[in-house]
């Protein structure tokens, strides 16, 4: 039994959704899983649930914020037998043309957090999603009427970033959005040869380090709900 997930391998499905927020994990289980799902972890309030989605086993586990926290949970999920891990999160929009509640499918995640480099001994490595999951997610999101953007994102180590102009430089280098957990997931996926994907709903539109416009709660729910349906279908597909 791992230290932070007080569970046995049989408690988790091979496919796991990984939001940051424990309450979002609960919302996903309540809203999208078939009736009869169960709580499988509550250590430190990091809620995890296992059930089925349209009859196929699925789990959801909250992982906290940042690569350091999320990496603990990703590692322990892999120890418990997860073979497909899909991050469902929010992100700040960097690219022109993004709108609130748009869906971003992250092909790759630039690791702007030193803990990710420590995992690969400082050697160059591009954290990359599993292409079959990317392809399926794009197709499903389009079918559901989402505005979908496919490309690289940044996984930042600092939510409050003091570096002047960093957001603009990331945007100028083609990044669609910034969040804080995908690069760790994709790197662990490569190391352990499991499938990984990160889907994000745009919750802020970033102008610079000090200024971002925030989505309304109602619009966020619409975007997140649509992304969750896509994530559940990709997870069990
Ligand atoms: N920065 C980092 N992570 C985020 C943001 C952001 O602006 N918005 C949502 N997740």
- The model's pLDDT over 16-70, given as tens digits with 9 standing for 90+, comes to 999 999 999 999 999 999 999 999 999 999 999 999 999 999 999 999 999 999 9
List, in order, residues 6 or more apart from 115 with CB less than 8 Å away. Answer: 67, 68, 71, 157, 184
List, in order, residues 6 or more apart from 143 with CB less than 8 Å away. Answer: none
Tell me the CA–centroid distance for residue 52 and ligand 1, in Å: 30
Question: What's the whole-number mean pLDDT along residues 71-81?
Answer: 98
At 98, is the pLDDT very low, low, confident or very high (cuts 50, 70, 90)?
A: very high
Query: Quick one: how far is CA 127 from the chain centroid?
Result: 13
Pick the atom of ligand 1 nearest to 179's CA. Answer: 3
- Per cent of the chain over pLDDT 90 is 98
Residue ranges per structural domain of the chain: 9-236
- Tell which residue, 218, 180, 179, 182, has the closest CA to residue 202: 179
Whether 98 and 215 have beta carbons less than 8 Å apart is answered as: no
What's the whole-model pTM score? 0.98
Tell me the CA–centroid distance for residue 92 and ligand 1, in Å: 4
Pick the atom of ligand 1 nearest to 156's CA. Answer: 2
At 209, is the pLDDT very low, low, confident or very high (cuts 50, 70, 90)?
A: confident
Start-to-end CA distance of the chain, whole Å, equals: 28
| CATH architecture for segment(s) 9-236 | 3-Layer(aba) Sandwich (3.40)
Alpha-carbon torsion angle 59, 128, 201, 221, nearest 10: 0
Residues with catalytic roles? 204
Question: What's the whole-number mean pLDDT along residues 159-180?
Answer: 97
The preferred substitution site among 204, 212, 224 for testing ligand 1, maximizing ligand atoms within 8 Å of CB, is: 204
In this prediction, residue 65 carries a pLDDT of 98
DSSP-derived secondary structure letter, 44: G
Question: What's the whole-number mean pLDDT along residues 228-232?
Answer: 98
Helix and strand element counts for the chain (H, E): 7, 10
In this prediction, residue 167 carries a pLDDT of 97
Tell me the CA–centroid distance for residue 203 and ligand 1, in Å: 8
In this prediction, residue 66 carries a pLDDT of 98
List, in order, residues 6 or more apart from 221 with CB less than 8 Å away. Answer: none
Tell me the CA–centroid distance for residue 70 and ligand 1, in Å: 15
Question: Within 6 Å (CB) of ligand 1, which residues are found?
Answer: 90-92, 156, 159, 178-180, 203-204, 206, 212
The Cα 24–Cα 16 span in angstroms is 14
Mean pLDDT of the chain: 97
Residue closest via CA to ligand 1's atom 9 equals 91
Phi and psi angles of residue 94, each rounded to the nearest 5 degrees, phi first: -110, -40
């Amino acid at each position: 039994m791992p230290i932070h997930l007080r569970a046995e391998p049989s408690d988790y499905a091979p496919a796991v959704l990984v939001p940051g927020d424990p309450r979002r994990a609960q919302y996903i289980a309540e809203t999208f899983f078939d009736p009869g799902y169960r709580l499988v972890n509550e250590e430190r309030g990091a809620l995890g649930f296992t059930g089925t989605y349209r009859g196929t086993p699925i789990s959801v586990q909250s992982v906290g914020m940042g690569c350091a926290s999320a990496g603990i949970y990703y590692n322990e999920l892999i120890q418990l037998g997860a073979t497909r891990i899909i991050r469902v999160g929010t992100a700040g929009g960097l690219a022109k043309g993004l709108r609130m509640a748009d869906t971003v499918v992250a092909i790759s995640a630039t690791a702007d957090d030193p803990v990710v480099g420590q995992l690969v001994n400082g050697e160059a490595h591009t954290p990359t999603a599993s292409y079959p999951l990317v392809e399926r997610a794009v197709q499903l999101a389009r079918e559901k009427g989402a505005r979908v953007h496919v490309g690289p994102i940044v996984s930042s180590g600092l939510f409050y970033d003091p570096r002047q102009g960093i957001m603009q430089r990331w945007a100028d280098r083609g990044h669609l959005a910034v969040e804080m957990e995908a690069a760790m997931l994709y790197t662990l996926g490569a190391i352990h040869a499991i499938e990984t994907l990160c889907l994000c709903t745009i919750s802020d539109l970033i102008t610079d380090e000090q200024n971002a416009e925030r989505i309304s709660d109602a619009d966020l729910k619409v975007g997140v709900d649509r992304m969750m349906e896509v994530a559940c279908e990709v997870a069990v597909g």
